Amino acid sequence: MRRLSTALLFCLLLSLAGRVPARAAGQTGPTVFAAASLTNALQDIAAAWAKQGHPTPLLSFASSSILARQIAEGAPVNIYASADEKWMNYLAQHGMIVPGTRRDLLRNDLVLIVPANHPTRVKIGPGFDLAPLLGPNGRLAVGDPAHVPAGIYARQALQHLGLWANVEPHLARAEDVRAALLLVERGEAPAGIVYGTDAAVSRRVMIAGIFPPDSHPPITYPFAIVKGGDTAQARAFFAFLQGPQARALFARRGFPAD
């Protein structure tokens, strides 16, 4: 029995050994922590980079706040891309960003979305009322305004329009902007506030209205190299992110260049 168990264990290890090198080989490029709203664009760009013969970057997406805190706690990262200035400032204040590498590369819009099977168009401005969209028990899906950039922008826009006090009790607070998008896609929320680029990647939602630019601070995406992750590969990929091919891929996903 012991010999049989040993043989089975050896075969299992041999089988796994054949899989690990291929996976590791695809993850030897720089590690990038990026805002959830950058998911599709950065996946496109990483694929284009790998197609040129470079090691594939390892991409990790979540709320900018969660990623910034992980970096501050020592997570091994080469490049950080935030959906707002606040969390990049947070890392800069903690001495976690390589001086001189910070770049504001992208902009975005803030939009109101509804399920595509319940099409609605509204004009967001003075006198706008969300109540008809939400109904008596519906909730507004947003990234958690306590820390998620998209939720913070949403709160600022709703405050500017005088709607925050009435809407706040009816929020469905999501862990990031893509989670808010998912709630509307599934019909679990009759409306949500996300970035324009998030709405563009889903056929199950539609943009009901665009928040006026003056209702919230400009939505910018700062990128930087993380201290401790300043390698030649990181520098090369960081330069690629600012180049014409990456710019075109960002634009294809709806990001206007900053």
> The CATH number of the domain where 46 resides is what?
3.40.190.10
Task: Give the residues across from 35 on adjacent strands.
Answer: 62
Query: What is the spatial distance between Cα 229 and Cα 158, in angstroms, rounded to a whole number?
Result: 38
Buried-exposed string 189-217: b where 16+ CB fall within 10 A, e elsewhere: bbbbbbbbbbbbebeebbbbbbbbeebbe
Can you give the pLDDT at residue 207? 98
Residues of the chain with pLDDT under 50: 1-26
What is the pLDDT at residue 21?
31
Residue 41, number of CB atoms within 10 A of its CB: 23
Kindly state whether residues 102 and 230 are assigned to the same domain: yes
Number of domains in the chain: 2
Same domain, 201 and 133: yes
Residue-wise pLDDT tens digits, 23-77: 333 457 999 999 999 999 999 999 999 999 999 999 999 999 999 999 999 999 9
Q: Do 185 and 243 belong to one domain?
A: no
Question: Do the domain assignments include residue 167?
Answer: yes
| Domain of residue 123, residue span | 110-210
231 and 181 assigned to the same domain: no
Question: Does 16 reside within a domain?
Answer: no
Give the start-end residues of each E strand in 63-153.
79-81, 103-108, 110-115, 140-143
Specify if 178 maps to a domain: yes
What is the model's pLDDT at position 28?
74
**Bridge partners of residue 110, in order along the sequence:** 195
User: Are 150 and 62 in a shared domain?
Assistant: no
| 15 found inside a domain | no
Same domain as 186, residue 132: yes
Is 35 in the same domain as 76?
Answer: yes
Please measure the distance between the N-terminal and C-terminal CA atoms of the chain and give it in whole angstroms.
67
User: Which pLDDT does position 240 carry in this prediction?
Assistant: 98
121/95 same-domain check? no
Say if 96 falls within a structural domain.
Answer: yes
* 168 within domain boundaries: yes
Closest CA to 116 of 173, 200, 37: 200
Domain check: are 160 and 204 in the same one?
A: yes
Does residue 20 belong to any structural domain of this protein? Answer: no
Strand partners, 255: none
Pairing type for strands 103-108 and 110-115 reads unpaired
Q: Do residues 114 and 203 both lie within one domain?
A: yes
Same domain membership, residue 227 and residue 141: no
Phi-psi region of 181 (alpha: psi -120 to 50; beta: other; left: phi over 0): alpha
- Name the token pair of 186: 């599934």
The verdict on 42 and 168 lying in the same domain is no
Question: Any idea which residue has 């969209």 for tokens?
Answer: 133
Please report the pLDDT score of residue 258 as a whole number. 60
Q: Is residue 5 part of a domain?
A: no
